[in-house]
Chains A and B, each alone.
Chain A
Amino acid sequence: DSGVTQTPKHLITATGQRVTLRCSPRSGDLSVYWYQQSLDQGLQFLIQYYNGEERAKGNILERFSAQQFPDLHSELNLSSLELGDSALYFCASSLAGLTDTQYFGPGTRLTVL
């Protein structure tokens, strides 16, 4: 158990819909990272937040957005969903920066029908 929790575990929705994925970091961690894992794209970094502020952006689509709240939990919002958005979405947390170990949650499996 990494200490990072993600909800829901599974999500099935239709094209065009909007969903919200939630992540609670390990106690004491200030950084939250979101990753997408799919068969064709592999594991890709989406976005990082540090203590409520956006710190880094990767291959995140404009239809996707995230935020980190004062209690440090984070939400990833996916809108206008397409079939290709079906993937495993991981959240990871770390104390602060790159040299700190990133602890991954179990992931949310999103299926878009």
Chain B
Amino acid sequence: AQSVTQPDIHITVSEGASLELRCNYSYGATPYLFWYVQSPGQGLQLLLKYFSGDTLVQGIKGFEAEFKRSQSSFNLRKPSVHWSDAAEYFCAVGAEQTGANNLFFGTGTRLTVIP
């Protein structure tokens, strides 16, 4: 069965500092991996996704993520955090089965940015 683990419930970083949010997945085949961001009172917005190919994926808002099959990880990174990045971040794995496809989300990591 598919599952996603985000070990950090809450992370606090200073504005301008680098950021890494961890995500580990469990899936039998090559997974489809996603990072979404949810700002307070908003729906989810896709930051980036990985299906195959280059394991370093660039996304919107200056985010990137690296797929490491050996570690079953898909960590999200940003070199310099802005105050507007404060939000909840969700990692998700996609399961494409015969005639069906859906996303399994992690529990999320809440990011606080301090000036």
A43 with B105, Cβ < 8 A, contacts A48-B100, A55-B99, A99-B32 known: yes
Interface residues on B, range: 20 to 34
- The A/B interface has a contact count, at CB < 8 Å, of 60
Residues of B within 8 A of A (CB): 32, 36, 41-46, 49, 51, 90, 94-97, 99-108
| A98–B94 touching, CB < 8 Å | yes
| A56–B43 touching, CB < 8 Å | no
Residues of A within 8 A of B (CB): 2, 4, 33, 42-45, 48, 55-58, 90, 92, 97-99, 101-107
Residues on the B chain within 8 Å of A33, using CB:
102-103
Question: In this complex, which of A43, A57, A104, A107 has the most chain B Cβ atoms within 10 angstroms of its Cβ?
Answer: A43
Residues on the B chain within 8 Å of A42, using CB:
105-108
